[in-house]
Amino acid sequence: MTRSSGSPVSPIAPVASERLLIRPSGPLRGTAVVNGAKNAALPIMAACLLTDEPSIIERVPHVTDVVTMIEILRQLGVSVSFADGRLSVAPGRYTGTAAPYDLVSRMRASVCVLGPLLTRQGKAQVSMPGGCVIGPRPIDLHLKGLQALGAAFTIEHGYVVGTASGLRGGRVQLGGAFGSSVLATANVMMAATLAEGVTTIEQAACEPEVVDLAHCLIGMGARIEGQGGPVIRVEGVSRLRGAHHRIIPDRIESGTLMIAAAMVGGDLTLEGARAEHLGAVIDKLAEAEVVIEKLDSALRVRAAHPPRAVEITTLPFPGFPTDLQAQMMALMAVGRGVSVLTEKVYPERFMHIGELNRMGAAITREGSSAIVKGVERLSGAPVNGSDLRASAALLLAGMCAENQTELTGVEHLKRGYQNLEEQLVRLGADIQRIS
Ligand code: EPU
């Protein structure tokens, strides 16, 4: 395996022993600038492997998952540098084909190098992603899609080993038991850009991050149509040029900040937040009596009293995003009335229920639904976030709980939020990081 380096990437501070001390917050006021979307940046970084020309990607968030993806690219022999949200990737004639266990086990999204490596190098070895705290996360749809283009796979010593001698376009169905798959759509779309002939992806994921990837690929010379809808058509080309792309603002960070304002009240302007990416979230917050106003390049969020209870079902885009389910549950925990939250993307993504209940919430689980009886107030407690979004939900809960909440699992926050706690402090929250 070759290894090459670019300029050093500044490390991300938190270690597992760090905690946040969160005290009750007054209303949040001011403006926050939304960072680039982690879930758009990761597959777009993998897309840089499709060419030997250098690429520049802007508005890349400085989060641990991005740093892990940089390490994967470097392991493959690609030179990468990253500063101030600007990522420069110079693949040259990289020869690596393997994403090793220690990196893949840190971040499941590593699997999105599979498509680019197969189509470019004819070979890919990616450690088989294991179990995950938010429930089972198989990769059968990724493999099915790439097989339809002519790749063959074996599982060897914990690795998915893929080979392909020239991929050919084909018809690919990506519907699974829980809807389409975002990263499987990304993998097949990337592989298809350099495959011979036309690929039609049916039941493609419609998420804005898939659309952003398609726009980046089109900028590299790919021929793609239909992105954002359930059928994507890709006509293979013989080569792609380097990318110059700016990542979309993070809709999940936007939604998390909107929910924070709904929890403690206030008047927030979220610069960069895009209403068209947040339709279902805006709709549900409006139903909860949060006032959301669309400005030119921002959203303004105003909340003055406890939210009304609402019923929510998470679904693939344009449905309510699973990545905001935990935060919304924290909000509904202090809602007026009984809310029902049904999880249709990851039916086991409920680890935060027990922790919210430790703070005085009244939540019971029934299968893939949570019944949330709103309480007048939460009470601060030591709690542990089990994953990125669960940690965010507990941070928000701590802001509207009496006394002090001590949150562990803070390292998860840095996987996907560039500076959530700093942003909240600037807007008026009382949060302190301690080791
Ligand atoms: N699924 C399969 N087979 C597959 C792939 C997925 O059955 O081969 C199932 C999953 O188990 C799940 C559903 O399909 O039940 C949807 O999973 P999907 O593949 O769409 O998830 P992903 O692409 O691996 C991305 C985000 C997740 C986000 C999901 C759903 C990235 C890097 N990750 O994951 O983000 O929850 O889409 O929107 O884009 C997060 O940011 O906290 C996060 C977990």
Q: Any idea what the CATH number is for the domain that residue 391 is in?
A: 3.65.10.10
> In testing the pocket of ligand 1, which one of 160, 181, 209 has its CB within 8 Å of the most ligand atoms?
181
Residue with tokens 């790749």: 151
Residue 376, sorted as left (phi over 0), alpha (psi -120 to 50) or beta, turns out to be: alpha
Same domain, 73 and 216: yes
Give SS3 for 55.
strand
Instruction: Please indicate whether residue 328, judged by its CB atom, sits closer than 6 Å to ligand 1.
Output: no
Q: What is the reported pLDDT for 129?
A: 78
Residue 214 lies in a domain: yes
Same domain, 196 and 238: yes
Contact 129, 110 (CB under 8 A): yes
Q: Residue 380 corresponds to which amino acid?
A: G
In this prediction the pTM is 0.96
Instruction: Please indicate whether residue 412, judged by its CB atom, sits closer than 6 Å to ligand 1.
Output: no
The helix (run of H) or strand (run of E) holding residue 256 is helix 251-264
pLDDT profile of the chain (435 residues), mean per 10: 54 70 95 98 98 98 96 97 98 94 90 97 89 77 97 94 95 93 98 98 98 98 98 98 98 98 96 98 97 97 93 98 98 97 96 97 98 97 96 97 96 94 97 93
Q: What is the reported pLDDT for 6?
A: 63
Name the active-site residue from 132, 206, 216, 400: 132
Same domain, 60 and 159: yes
Number of domains the chain contains? 2
Same domain, 70 and 23: no
Same domain, 28 and 175: no
Residue 218 lies in a domain: yes
Same domain, 152 and 201: yes
- List, edge to edge, every strand of the sheet that includes 159-163: 98-99, 123-127, 159-163, 152-156
Q: What is the reported pLDDT for 3?
A: 42
> Catalytic site residue 132?
yes
Residue 2 lies in a domain: no
| Alpha carbon distances (Å) from 302 to 337, 368, 374, 397, 426 | 21, 31, 20, 18, 17
Q: Residue 360 corresponds to which amino acid?
A: G
| CA–CA distance, 377 with 379 (Å, rounded to integer) | 7
Residue 428, domain extent: 19-35+249-434
- List, edge to edge, every strand of the sheet that includes 338-343: 311-314, 338-343, 369-373, 362-366
Residues 6+ apart with CB under 8 A from 198: 169, 233, 234, 235, 236
Instruction: Please indicate whether residue 182, judged by its CB atom, sits closer than 6 Å to ligand 1.
Output: yes
Residue 59 lies in a domain: yes
Q: What is the reported pLDDT for 435?
A: 84
Q: What is the reported pLDDT for 136?
A: 72
Residue 269 CB neighbours (<10 A): 17
Q: What is the reported pLDDT for 305?
A: 84
Residue 424 lies in a domain: yes
Residue 12 lies in a domain: no
Nearest CA to ligand 1 atom 17: 181
Last residue of a domain, one of 227, 246, 265: 246
Q: Supply the DSSP string of 363-418, one letter for each residue.
A: EEEETTEEEEE--S-EE--EEE--SHHHHHHHHHHHHTEES-EEEE-HHHHHHH-S
Same domain, 240 and 269: no
The separation between CA 353 and the C-alpha centre of its own chain, rounded to angstroms, equals: 21
Q: What is the reported pLDDT for 140?
A: 93
Instruction: Please indicate whether residue 181, judged by its CB atom, sits closer than 6 Å to ligand 1.
Output: yes
Residue 134 lies in a domain: yes
Instruction: Please indicate whether residue 114, judged by its CB atom, sits closer than 6 Å to ligand 1.
Output: no
Q: How many secondary structure helices (H) and strands (E) does the chain include?
A: 14, 26
Q: Residue 212 corresponds to which amino acid?
A: D
Residue 11 lies in a domain: no
Same domain, 279 and 209: no
Nearest CA to ligand 1 atom 18: 181
Same domain, 316 and 398: yes
| Alpha carbon distances (Å) from 278 to 114, 244, 254, 258, 299 | 30, 26, 8, 11, 10
Same domain, 112 and 54: yes
Contact 24, 402 (CB under 8 A): yes
* Ligand 1 nearest atom to the CA of residue 136, by list position: 11
* Ligand 1 nearest atom to the CA of residue 109, by list position: 32
| CA–CA distance, 398 with 134 (Å, rounded to integer) | 22
Distance 183 CA to ligand 1 centre (A): 7
Last residue of a domain, one of 246, 270, 290: 246
Last residue of a domain, one of 246, 267, 302: 246
Same domain, 274 and 422: yes
The helix (run of H) or strand (run of E) holding residue 152 is strand 152-156
* Ligand 1 nearest atom to the CA of residue 345, by list position: 15
Distance 181 CA to ligand 1 centre (A): 6
Same domain, 193 and 313: no
The separation between CA 428 and the C-alpha centre of its own chain, rounded to angstroms, equals: 26
Q: Rounded to 10 degrees, what is the CA torsion of 133, 100, 199, 205?
A: 20
Phi, psi of 71 (to 5 degrees): -65, -40
